[in-house]
Chain A
Amino acid sequence: MERSTPSVLMPALIGGAVFGVAGAIPILNFLNCLCCALVIGSGFLAAFLYSKECQKTSTAFGGGGGAKVGALAGVFYTVFESIVQWILGLITGATFDIEEIIAQIESNPQIPPETADGIIRVLESIGSGGFWILIPVFVVIALIFATIGGLIGGAVFKVEPVVPSEPAS
């Protein structure tokens, strides 16, 4: 009998939504400073949920499935984080201003002057409009880290398919 493979959509959506919303909330999003823990978490949670589905249908699940569901969770993560961040920006009136970032860097005594100069030079050469170029870079980073989370989840929650035992002769 042919077993149907469970869909990766719902686990990825849940993983991406839960951690994407958390990633947009101030203070909570500080967890991303721990090696993108929230982004990795989205892939890991998606892999865990997908492994449960695979267990129910006795479908094999490992790194391959984990990478797939993790990458998709990364896509949902960026979508949900962007939407919630945009909504919060509308409520609080916070805007994304490159001049403000440069002023913050300049006024931070903890950043060595040579480092601050290097960062500011890069930011100024990109310019306010060009800063949007960096968004795909962040999307790619989210995809990579969520896939890593999915791969780790695939290894941790590996599911071997149940092979029906042959009747004793």
Chain B
Amino acid sequence: MPRGLLLAVALLAMLWTAGIFVVPLIERSGDETAATTAGLARLAYRPVCHQIPHRSLALGGQPFAVCARCTGLYLGGAVGLALMTLGYGRLRAPGRLWLLAAVAPTVIDFGMGHLTGVSLPNLARLAVSFPAGLMLGAYLAIGVTDLGRSWSRRAGNARSAHVPPTIPDRLHVGG
């Protein structure tokens, strides 16, 4: 179960990340239905990102569904989850210091951008946030694997509680 759950989460993360790149492609078609679909998709990503076009990378002149920083985080997260799924049982999460080191540049960039107004170009913002997403994805994979294991244990316990008593047990219970 842990591996199946991890695979499901990794696939969902990849689907979510793919949507970021698909939205501008849909918009490019210029069709009215496509514009409504893209509008709905942009609304779906709205709660998780400011979606300011000049802070987003673009495809064919249309901005991605989320900003450059969020694109890096989601892309990194999806890659981290995918790597942990592929290397299931062989890969281990890096130490907490690596996590801090990976997240720190994004936090500094975010803080600097809001305090001083100085911000990196879009592609650099994506590159800076990618390692943070990668590490967080790896840790998320560990958490999901743990969750899968605890579900398996619970399912195992429930099954063993419903196992019919063996013949000696019956004899013993029956007197």
Interface residues of A (CB under 8 A from B): 30, 32-36, 62-67, 110-112, 114-115, 117-122, 138, 141, 145, 148, 150-156, 158
Contact present for A63 and B35 (CB under 8 Å): no
Question: Looking at A32, A118, A151, A152, which has the most chain B CB atoms within 10 Å of its CB?
Answer: A118
Q: How far is A66 from B140 in the complex, measured between Cα atoms in Å? A: 11
* 23 residue pairs A–B, Cβ–Cβ below 8 Å: A30-B114, A32-B47, A33-B67, A34-B73, A35-B48, A63-B144, A64-B150, A66-B146, A66-B147, A110-B52, A110-B53, A112-B61, A114-B35, A114-B62, A115-B27, A115-B62, A115-B63, A118-B40, A118-B42, A119-B39, A122-B39, A152-B136, A155-B143
Q: Is the interface of A mostly helix, strand, loop or mixed?
A: helix
How many residues on chain B are close to A (CB under 8 Å)?
Answer: 45
Q: Which residues of B contact A141 (CB under 8 A)?
A: 47-48
Contact present for A33 and B49 (CB under 8 Å): yes
Q: Which residues of B contact A65 (CB under 8 A)?
A: 150
B36 in the interface (beta carbon within 8 A): yes
Contact present for B62 and A151 (CB under 8 Å): no
Given A112-B62, A114-B35, A118-B35, the answer on whether A34 and B136 have CB atoms closer than 8 Å is: no
